[in-house]
Amino acid sequence: MKKIAITMGDPGGVGPEIIIKALSSAGIRDLCIPVVIGDRVVIEEILSLLNLPLKLRVIKSPEESRPETETIELIDMGMLNKFWGGRPTAEGGNACAGYIKKAAELALDKKVDAIVTAPISKEALKMAGMKWPGHTEMLAELTGTKDYAMMLVGGPLRVILVTIHTSLRSVPEMITKESVLKTIRLAKKACDMMEIENPEIATAGLNPHAGEAGIFGDEEIKEIIPAIEDAKKEGIQITGPLPPDTIFHKAYKGEFDIVVCMYHDQGLIPLKMIAFEQGVNVTIGLPIIRTSPDHGTAYDIAWKGVANPSSMIEAIKMAVRLRL
């Protein structure tokens, strides 16, 4: 079975809770050997809160892990003596960055087969003086990856993003032939990782009606269409650019295996509409497998015992499924 490193995420958020709930759910232990990377003080507290019949075993390395159903195996990073639930803190931001660095190191050293990251807070990272806006950029730097993209999976939809964490105002200038072609190639790689043969890839336009032949914008004509033409020359099966207001309905019905989206919310709004509690985030292009629940720290419900682990469960399943 695959060994999966699961980072604890922001200690003040729902990460610790959804990890423990996921690892106590039926079937997960039949799929993989999970190793949590976090802090003992937090895991002990969440086990006490949830009152689940689970034991905690601290290990130093994944090599020590054993597939015991009722045991949470933890690599204790020892970064926290105390923590505050329900809010971002500099201590929490520093700690969750440490967990991610450790997981990336283990994956690069082939000591784990994949990593699953619980939610972190961009605010907490900033409070801790970290320069990264999120997991994706951080893992790209830690693994020396230049070309990468965020793919989201939920229900029948798979979307991959040309631009990620940036203002809407800055998106048009970032839509270039090179950036679109790179993402199309990564869309094909994503389908290969999911073992989808002869995938049908679709590209969304940036503008209403995909620009309407230049009437509503010329990014399609100048940048997106040339990228699609080059992708076709490489043998990639791709359609587009299609109007953003219809492309997701076609993908939902099964006409396309993945949709290349021009900006963050273009892809995430339809996906979260149909699969908010089951969405999974995958970073494509890394030399390691990384998945994550497609939701945030949810401070408003953290440490109340009510968080839904469905997205974490799906993220673990996806990590097991993917092949590099």
Distances in whole angstroms, Cα of residue 64 to Cα of each of 3, 73, 245, 256: 11, 9, 51, 43
Report the helix count and the strand count for the chain, using DSSP H and E.
13, 12
Task: Please state which of the four CATH numbers 3.40.718.10, 3.30.1490.190, 3.30.360.10, 3.40.50.300 is assigned to the domain occupying 2-145+286-321.
Answer: 3.40.718.10
Q: Is the pLDDT of residue 117 over 90?
A: yes
Q: Is the pLDDT of residue 133 over 90?
A: no
Expressed in angstroms, the distance from the first to the final Cα of the chain is 16
Q: Is the pLDDT of residue 212 over 90?
A: no
- The 10s digit of each residue's pLDDT in 67-101 is 888 899 999 999 999 889 999 999 999 999 999 99
Prediction pTM value: 0.94
The reported pLDDT for the residue numbered 107 is 98
Rounded-to-integer distance, Cα 44 and Cα 38, Å: 11
Rounded-to-integer distance, Cα 34 and Cα 291, Å: 14
**Average pLDDT for residues 167-192, to the nearest whole number?**
97
Rounded-to-integer distance, Cα 278 and Cα 295, Å: 9
Read off the DSSP letter of residue 216: T
Structure confidence at residue 134 as a pLDDT band (50, 70, 90): confident
**Average pLDDT for residues 151-176, to the nearest whole number?**
96
**Average pLDDT for residues 237-265, to the nearest whole number?**
97
Q: Are 2-145+286-321 and 149-269 in the same CATH fold?
A: yes
- The 10s digit of each residue's pLDDT in 38-61 is 999 999 999 999 998 899 999 999
The reported pLDDT for the residue numbered 67 is 80
57 neighbors 26 (Cβ within 8 angstroms): no
Q: Is the pLDDT of residue 321 over 90?
A: yes
Closest CA to 236 of 203, 209, 284: 203
- Write out the CATH class of domain 149-269: alpha beta
**Average pLDDT for residues 11-16, to the nearest whole number?**
97
The reported pLDDT for the residue numbered 150 is 94
Q: Parse the chain into domains and list their residue ranges.
A: 2-145+286-321, 149-269
Rounded-to-integer distance, Cα 76 and Cα 43, Å: 9
The reported pLDDT for the residue numbered 264 is 95
Structure tokens at 140: 């790209």
The reported pLDDT for the residue numbered 186 is 98
The reported pLDDT for the residue numbered 286 is 97
Rounded-to-integer distance, Cα 46 and Cα 49, Å: 5
Q: Is the pLDDT of residue 20 over 90?
A: yes
- The 10s digit of each residue's pLDDT in 298-313 is 999 999 999 999 999 9
Rounded to the nearest integer, the mean pLDDT of the chain is: 95
